[in-house]
Amino acid sequence: MLSRGDVFAGYAIERQLGRGGMGSVYLARHPRLPRHTALKLLNPELFADTEIRARFEREADLAAQLEHPNIVTVYDRGADDGRLWISMQFVDGVDAATIEHPVPADRALRIVEATAAALDHAHRNGVLHRDVKPANILLADIDGKERVLLTDFGIARPRDDVHHLTQTGSFTATLAYAAPEQLTGAHLDHRVDQYALACTLYSLLTGVAPFDATNPVLVIQGHLHSPPPSLRARRSDLPAALDAVLARAMAKRAVDRFDSCAEFAAAARRALSETGAQPTVFAARSMPQFPDPNHHPGGPSAVPQPYSGYAQPSYAAPAPSYPGRPMPVRRDSRTPIVLLVVLASVLGGGYWVWQDETSPVADILQRSRGHKDLDALHEAFPQMVPAGYADGRGYHRQCSASLKPQGYDDPWMKTFDGFQARRSCSDELVVDTHYVFYTYPTAEAATAVVARFRQETKDWGQASTGTRTDDRREQSTDGRYSGSAIVSTFSEPARARWVLVFYRGSGSSPHPGFTVEANMPILIADVASFPLG
């Protein structure tokens, strides 16, 4: 942790603005220019994590491409003393999650309109934000007028690269504002941000998220299956037309939503104007007073410490605790203790179900270990393995997916049973090259499977290519040749649980017209042509 007066990457640290599970944000003076910047630092223990580093660096690269009055400006990034850093525009204000809710309708619409303009600009430049929520919308008081800025592109990615950097299979967007297609792993386009923006408008106007629940499973079910909740059920002063606008922006299918975020915001504005409501004038903000950290409580010394929304962490880090962060208005509660205990139990059970990657719920939500392995296979071999978890096209072949052991009777398939995930790619020509990716729970399990296959087959030599080792094998059934295979294993730790099998033949069905002498060179040539990473 840096302290006032420390110098990092040439920036003079003044104070910490916030801290999260992935890093910290500091208010700092620019080394050469007379201005303050927000300096975001990745925690040093995460420096060696290549995926997190890539996400952190991508945040700067993507945001730096976006020049818009409603998007926080990124100035520079780099690495210093074993830590990655990003310097960006310092916004002296609060985020939309910390202001008093419900927000007056006109102010909520102005926040959404400005955010919509920022998102449409990002979309025109090929960038999806993918984590739009009130906490990522900063509000600054400039001469009595409210300025709205969108920040935190930590999980944003280019629009044509929506499957990149997901090898862990983890879901990083905030659940309360996630579109159905994010939850199911479907293809994402610009309308994923529109859905989240509509959820944000609902939250601003009501003080709760659209599918508010302590159990994450219920939140997911709401996004996937329940109709958008009515605004008028919570605020009778809002027009019914606004419910219709939100219903379209939060449609389960992206194709049924508005064409742009600006179109959604304009429709919401028209719906609101039907009530004849007068605009809410933004008054100059009275900043909360925070104790001087060098002064004892109760003394006369107090200094204003404006909160900077930059402290909101990226990458779905745990919610940070901000020093001096204004808290939302508390409502009087007389909930019985028994009800609180029940809610705590539901929350704990829901959290456990959400975290458990081996439960039936994980299979339903497509976030099991097997699903994560299928994502990782696609990341490693994008030309050979299709994205997602359904059937798709691989390297000129149709591929199917299986999760968990299948209990095969066929000796060929039974040898490789016990897998965690499987991608099998073949076509109608039984003598053509087929290939199957298997992933196992541990590297030891994968090694045992390969050893068993070696015992059951005849050795035709071994070759190595980079970190991949290819065993050439012949299989017989009842003394008759039934196929030749190349079994590939990988020495990298991340792929040590994977086994790739190329084969010619049809399992236990013999092919009298083939001999291994003629078949193996053809198979080797086919394997050499495959786009292996």
- Choose the catalytic residue: 95, 120, 131, 193: 131
- Contact of 327 with 36, CB cutoff 8 Å: no
- Write the DSSP assignment of 382-397 as a string of letters: TTTS-SSSS-EE-SSS
Q: Give the separation between CA 435 and CA 190, rounded to whole angstroms.
A: 35
What are the DSSP E strand ranges found in 20-73? 23-29, 36-42
Task: At 149, list the tokens.
Answer: 């800025």
In this structure, are residues 196 and 132 in contact, taking their beta carbons and an 8 Å threshold? yes
131 is annotated as an active-site residue: yes
Question: What secondary structure does DSSP assign to 325-367, as a single string?
Answer: PPPPPP------HHHHHHHHHHHHHHHHHHH-TTSHHHHHTT-
Strand partners, 80: 83
Alpha carbon distance 138, 248 (integer Å): 26
Peptide bond into 102 cis (omega under 30): yes
Q: What is the largest CA-CA distance in the chain?
A: 96
**φ, ψ for residue 460, nearest 5 deg:** -125, 25
Six-digit token pair at 194? Answer: 């529109």
Crossing angle of helices 261-273 and 240-249, rounded to 10°? 170
SS3 473: strand
Active-site positions? 131
